């Protein structure tokens, strides 16, 4: 079995969607004027921004725009990477988690949302936002909008609120599989259809058969996609061998 979730397979997926006649829009573009046969590539950059940069370059090579959502925490927020990605024509959006960071304090969270948005907007024209799932927190970041409207902050779209997932097919790579969203409590879209694919190859097949719906949102977390597993795994094995060797040597010297 070929390894899934590599950039090579990601490229094949995008090429299959292009062959199937889809156009690609940023989420902001989709909110402004949704295409009839269209794909929104959404990337929640939870961590490791360098992976996002690699994905952004690949999409740019194919002439495709995507939307990259950055958190304000150190693991994600890297202005140099963000500028590079924006320079390739991609959208930069805010992956917010202010309610979790504020430990559920609504007023503090709203202030923090505004402050963080202003910080990003000093550099990028941030028009859309999507919530971070904060799996370790008891706070659901979406609850921020129970008392306020994100449109008051100039945000024109939040996928969880603004996309009708009974018509737009939502595919997310949760757990490095495309049918894993049932196990993720928060990254689940309301009204969503049953999963149609497990492996990326399944989606490619459906695209080439013309069996996919006309509007799709694909949420690919860049840190889950890389080509570097093999060197990394070999490094790990090499390190283990070294450690075993060291122990043998140590035992002999004892």
Q: Nearest distance from residue 180's CB to Zn ion, in Å?
A: 14
Sequence-distant (6+) residues with CB within 8 A of 191 are: 164, 165, 166
CA distance 249 to 245: 6
Binding residue for Zn ion, selected from 4, 46, 98, 181, defined by CB under 5 A: 46
Minimum distance, C-beta of residue 6 to Zn ion, in the bound complex (Å): 21
By CB under 5 A, residue 78 contacts Zn ion? no
Site for Zn ion in 192-251 (CB under 5 A): none
Q: Which of 234, 228, 235, 237 is nearest to 5 (CA)?
A: 228
Region 105-134 residues binding Zn ion, contact defined as CB under 5 A? 132
- The residue at minimum Cβ distance from Zn ion is 132
Taking CB under 5 A as the rule, which mask of x and - marks residues 132-151 in contact with Zn ion? Answer: x-------------------
Q: What's the start-to-end Cα distance of the chain, in Å? A: 46
Minimum CB distance to Zn ion smaller for 132 or for 212: 132
* Shorter beta-carbon distance to Zn ion: residue 17 or 56: 56
Considering only 9, 17, 30, 44, the residue that binds Zn ion (CB under 5 A) is 44
Distance of CA 107 to the CA centre of its chain: 28
Contact between residue 171 and residue 192 where contact means Cβ atoms under 8 Å apart = no
For residue 132, which phi and psi values (nearest 5 degrees)? -85, 140
CB of 131 to Zn ion, least distance (A): 8
Q: Minimum distance between the CB of residue 28 and Zn ion, rounded to whole angstroms?
A: 18
Nearest distance, CB of residue 135 and Zn ion, angstroms: 9
| CB of 224 vs Zn ion, minimal distance in Å | 12
Mark 129-156 as b/e (b = at least 16 C-beta within 10 Å). bbbbbbeebebbbbebbeeeebeebebe
Residues lying near Zn ion in the complex (CB under 5 A) are found at 44, 46, 132
């Amino acid at each position: 079995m070929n390894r899934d979730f590599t950039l090579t397979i990601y490229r094949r997926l995008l090429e299959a969607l292009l062959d199937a006649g889809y156009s690609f829009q940023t989420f902001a573009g989709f909110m402004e004027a949704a295409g009839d046969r269209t794909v929104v590539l959404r990337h929640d950059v939870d961590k490791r921004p360098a992976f996002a940069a690699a994905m952004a370059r690949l999409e740019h090579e194919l002439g495709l725009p995507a939307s990259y959502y950055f958190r304000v925490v150190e693991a994600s927020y890297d202005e140099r990477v963000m500028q590079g990605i924006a320079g390739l024509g991609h959208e930069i959006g805010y992956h917010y988690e202010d309610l979790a960071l504020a430990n559920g304090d609504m007023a503090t969270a709203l202030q923090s949302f505004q402050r963080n948005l202003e910080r990003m907007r000093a550099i990028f024209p941030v028009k859309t936002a999507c919530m971070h799932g904060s799996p370790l927190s008891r706070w659901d970041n979406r609850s921020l909008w129970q008392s306020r409207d994100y449109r008051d902050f100039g945000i024109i779209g939040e996928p969880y609120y603004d996309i009708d997932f009974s018509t737009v097919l939502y595919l997310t790579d949760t757990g490095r599989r495309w049918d894993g969203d049932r196990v993720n409590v928060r990254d689940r879209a309301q009204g969503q259809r049953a999963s149609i694919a497990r492996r990326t190859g399944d989606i490619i097949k459906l695209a080439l058969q013309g069996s996919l719906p006309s509007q799709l949102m694909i949420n690919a977390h860049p840190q889950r996609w890389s080509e570097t597993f093999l060197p990394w795994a070999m490094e790990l094995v090499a390190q283990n061998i070294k450690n075993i060797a060291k122990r043998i040597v140590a035992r002999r010297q004892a």
